[in-house]
Structure 1
Amino acid sequence: MINHEIKIAFEEYSTFHELNDIDQALCREAVKALSGSHSPYSNFCVGAALRLQSGRIIYGSNQENAAYPSGLCAERVALFTWGANYADDPIESMAVTAYTAKFVINKPITPCGSCLQVLAEYEKKQKQPIRTILYCQDGSTWVTNGIDSFLPFLFFEDRLVAVPA
């Protein structure tokens, strides 16, 4: 038997003001993205903002549907928008935040497994990590440099790549 240990790394900032100006600005953009949330069932709004290498900002917000599995998370809305429209302009960083009137969110929310897998796929596609900022408006902020700290066992199967004809 071989015993393995996995360690993750992330930065924790106790207040938004400890972040650098560029990260603070992206967090404010994620807050703006909350306004596009369609969350009439959970009343839990999530906003995501991507900053591309060109400086362009892409927004995503969670989209719920009465046919519950038909909705989509804010992170995937933003990431798929990038993939469909701006794939030649690498993603430098992504900020994610949430809001609900039902309770105080006092720690950062983390992307779901599906969003992490999409994030991993796009990091691989652009051949560089995506700085991820999980911004809690009433608490701390967590920052990682790439997907490895969230999803150490990524699903990648290189043999699934289409073989040229």
Structure 2
Amino acid sequence: MKKKIAFELSVFETEKELAKEEANLLQMAVTARNKAYAPYSRFQVGAAILLGNGEIVLGNNQENSSYPSGLCAERVAIFYAGANYPNQIIKSIAISATSLEHEVKEPAGPCGNCRQAIAEYEYKQKSPISVIMRGESGQIFKCSAIADILPLAFNNSFLSDS
């Protein structure tokens, strides 16, 4: 037996096609991206998270010469949101990426660690977190939930019988 797992995403050619709230969130991700500390990879990523109370939390990648000590933009933002707004629903996250070496024309999705971190909050709050992704230019991708791009995610239901 085989089982196929698939998902749909929305593709937008410009920010003008997004809802005003989503376009604003993406612009905030660009603002965060421009402040990233990425002297080693020269790949800058910004993330902006919209909370249920209307607050927007920003994060950007923070590199370190001891590579595993750095942190991606998405996790900087989501951990900040979790630490400072623990009872707020995370509605969506916008991600923007660019390189100081070349133009990034494709949306860069969250890495596996970031997908898992976002999935933890999605599972905890029992409501989807939409993901809006864009490179420096080009198309914009939007997924309805992180579960769409991380099927079969690990969560705390595997840790106990309850």
Match of 2:32 in 1: 33
1:10-49 matched pairs, under 5 angstroms: 10-49=9-48
Gaps of 5+ in 1: none
Q: Is contact 2:103–2:136 with CA below 8 Å preserved after alignment? A: no
Q: Does 1:141 align with 2:144?
A: no
Identity %: 41
CA drift at 1:157? 4.3
Match of 1:109 in 2: 108
Calculate the TM-score normalised by the size of structure 1. Answer: 0.93
Gaps of 5+ in 2: none
* Cα RMSD after superposing both structures: 1.6
Q: Deviations over 1:61-113 (max 9, x none)?
A: 00100001110000000010011110211111110001222101111000000
Distance 1:137 1:159 in 2: 38
Distance 1:51 1:100 in 2: 25
Larger Rg: 1
Tell me, what secondary structure is at the counterpart of 1:49? strand
Match of 2:83 in 1: 84
Q: Is contact 1:30–1:49 with CA below 8 Å preserved after alignment? A: yes
CA drift at 1:17? 1.6
Calculate the TM-score normalised by the size of structure 2. Answer: 0.94
Q: Does 1:57 align with 2:56?
A: yes
